[in-house]
Amino acid sequence: MLELKRVESGYGETQVLYGMDLHAQPGRVLAVLGRNGAGKSTTLKTIMGLLPLQAGDMTLDGARLNGTPPYEVARAGIGYVPETRDIFPSLSVRENLDLAASRGRSGDWTMQTVTDLFPRLAERMDNGGQQLSGGEQQMLAIARALLLNPRLLILDEPTEGLAPIIVKLIHDKLQDLRKAGLTMLLVEQNFGFATSLADDIAVVSKGQVVWIGTPQGIRADTEMQHKWLGV
């Protein structure tokens, strides 16, 4: 589905990615792991057109994404949940969701189905974004991305700063999406969270993939965990 070949990118004159290769396969969850500064979030921002592609190729179902602006990437079928969540704090939950729904592709995800997935949002519809807890903001960010009816859902550190009980809730909801066959690309520091959700694992260091395998394989390779992840 999504394929990156020899991708190079960065911030201004600071290069971060040095030949990044990734392949997210349809109906599977690819987790990208690595230490802080390895290039994980940079990879996602490059896919979304938020950072310029300096070299290499990116394709979605064979169609090139090179140089595509973020709104066109979203229209192509990629939903993005950034690490910072980026909900609109001055808008209500309902307005945040309505905004996404009005620009989404047709499909199964509607206001009703996202509130079925996250009932807490139904209870908070008239609350402003700034009135939500961190967990509620994360639910809203995921629901907003789903309302685009994406073929691929990209999540950047979805458990960052959340209480353990909310981490479990987010895990269970993403597991539901996985079982429903939604393709996902997940960047996550929480090793247990990532490996329990993923079908495939790619480990990144210094802007390159240094290991590809399965959750079972990475859990069994303690030397690799220590070397590349600090686990």
How confident is the model over 68-106, as pLDDT tens digits? 999 999 999 999 999 999 999 999 999 999 999 887 778
Last residue of a domain, one of 149, 171, 190: 149
Q: Is pLDDT above 90 for 128?
A: yes
Domain assignment present for residue 119? The answer is yes
Query: So what's the pLDDT on residue 81?
Result: 97
Query: What's the whole-number mean pLDDT along residues 195-200?
Result: 97
Q: Is pLDDT above 90 for 231?
A: no
Give, for 217, the enclosing helix (H) or strand (E): helix 215-220
Query: So what's the pLDDT on residue 228?
Result: 86
pLDDT higher for 12 or 31? Answer: 31
Residue 205, strand partner residues: 208
Domain assignment present for residue 211? The answer is yes
Q: pLDDT over 90 for what percent of the chain?
A: 90
Q: Is pLDDT above 80 for 41?
A: yes
Query: So what's the pLDDT on residue 48?
Result: 97
Residue 22, strand partner residues: 4
Last residue of a domain, one of 128, 149, 170: 149
**Domain co-membership, 127 together with 187:** no
What whole-number distance in Å separates Cα of residue 228 and Cα of residue 102?
42
**Tokens read off for 97:** 């969701």
Domain assignment present for residue 88? The answer is yes
Of 206, 196, 170, 205, give the one whose Cα is nearest residue 31.
196
**Domain co-membership, 69 together with 89:** no
Asked if residue 186 lies in contact with residue 202, where contact means CB atoms within 8 angstroms, the answer is: no
Domain assignment present for residue 164? The answer is no
If you average pLDDT over every residue of the chain, what do you get?
95
- Full-model pTM: 0.94
Domain assignment present for residue 94? The answer is yes
**Domain co-membership, 49 together with 92:** no
Domain assignment present for residue 123? The answer is yes
Structural domain boundaries enclosing 231: 1-77+151-158+181-231
Number of domains in the chain: 2
Provide the CATH number for the domain around residue 3.
Answer: 3.40.50.300
